[in-house]
Amino acid sequence: MFTLQKKIAVVTGGGSGIGRAIAETFAQQGAEVFILELNKASATEVVRKIESTGHKAYAFEVNVSDQKQVDNTIARIAQQAGRIDILVNSAGISHIGRLDTTSEEDFEKVFQVNVKGAYNAMHACIHLMKKQGGGVILNIASVAATVGIADRFAYSMSKGAVVSMTYSVAKDYVKDNIRCNCISPARVHTSFVDGFLAKNYPGQEKEMFEKLSKTQPIGRMGKPEEVASLALFLCCDQASFVTGTDYPLDGGFLKLNT
């Protein structure tokens, strides 16, 4: 079950964190994976790891906020592979700040990557998926799209847009056999978290890590591989009845916090 044999998958932001875990998991389950990543070196490292296990993967240096770059890359992939069965929008950036401390420049940067980046990738793939008779789109959102999280104004805005786009695409293309869902993780332990703690809480990393971990009722942060496991299910044929849904993966954050 949950195989992706003979599937062609595109993963944006597949060079690190959640995107990397998804790319590696999809490859392990038989998909041919195409990674779109701003950091070509990190994407190439993931490709090498996937290839070392006998699977196929390819890296493309792409700024997802640049529509022309995304269009050209998706066209190259379609020409090479013949089709695109799965698109995962995992590329994204974070931002810390309230409304009054978020500059126009920072707001625009978050929007360009998190919102326009997802739009660009979906826009580039949707015509191909319609033509080939179907496909699957999975967006990575956040619990910040649903609840108020302190000092995350621009980030919450962007992830709320991702959820709304997911619902819209699911409704508009259900008759084209295109499914669209999203996953909303709570805090997931990635290199971004470690870098954030080292920069903002030098000498207090362990203490702050524990504090952030306990904001999830389950008592810890999520793992990228756990997000990848849910992504695998949502993108495989066994989930063919699932569309237009936002899946919290949050250790009880949304429902159990009071």
Rounded distance, CA 177 to CA 237, Å?
12
Quick one: pLDDT at residue 125? 98
Rounded to two decimals, the pTM is 0.96
Report the pLDDT averaged over residues 84-105.
96
Q: What mean pLDDT comes out for the span 78-101?
A: 96
Percent of the chain with pLDDT over 90: 93
What is the per-residue burial (b if ≥16 Cβ within 10 Å, else e) of 23-48?
bbbbbbbebbbbbbbbeeebbbebbe
Token pair listed for 178: 């295109």
Task: For residues 103 and 106, give the distance between their C-alpha atoms in angstroms, rounded to a whole number.
Answer: 5
User: What is the pLDDT at residue 182?
Assistant: 98
Residues 47 and 61: their CA atoms lie apart, in Å, by 13
Query: Residues 102-126: what's their mean pLDDT?
Result: 98
How does DSSP classify residue 201?
A: S
Mean pLDDT of 39-68: 98
| pLDDT value at 6 more than 80 | yes
230, pLDDT greater than 80:
yes
User: pLDDT higher for 94 or 169?
Assistant: 169
* Tens digits of residue pLDDT in 235-244: 999 999 999 9
- Burial string for 139-173 (b: 16+ CB within 10 Å, else e) reads bbbbbbbbeebeebbbbbbbbbbbbebbbebbeeb
Confidence of residue 258 (pLDDT cuts 50, 70, 90): low
Query: Does residue 225 surpass a pLDDT of 70?
Result: yes
8-188+223-256: CATH number: 3.40.50.720
The stretch 68-81 carries a mean pLDDT of 98
**The total number of residues written for the chain in this structure:** 258
Catalytic residue list: 155
User: Among all chains, which residue has been given the structure tokens 């089709």?
Assistant: 83
Domain boundaries, the chain: 8-188+223-256
Q: How many CB atoms lie within 10 A of CB 86?
A: 26
- Per DSSP, 8 falls in state E
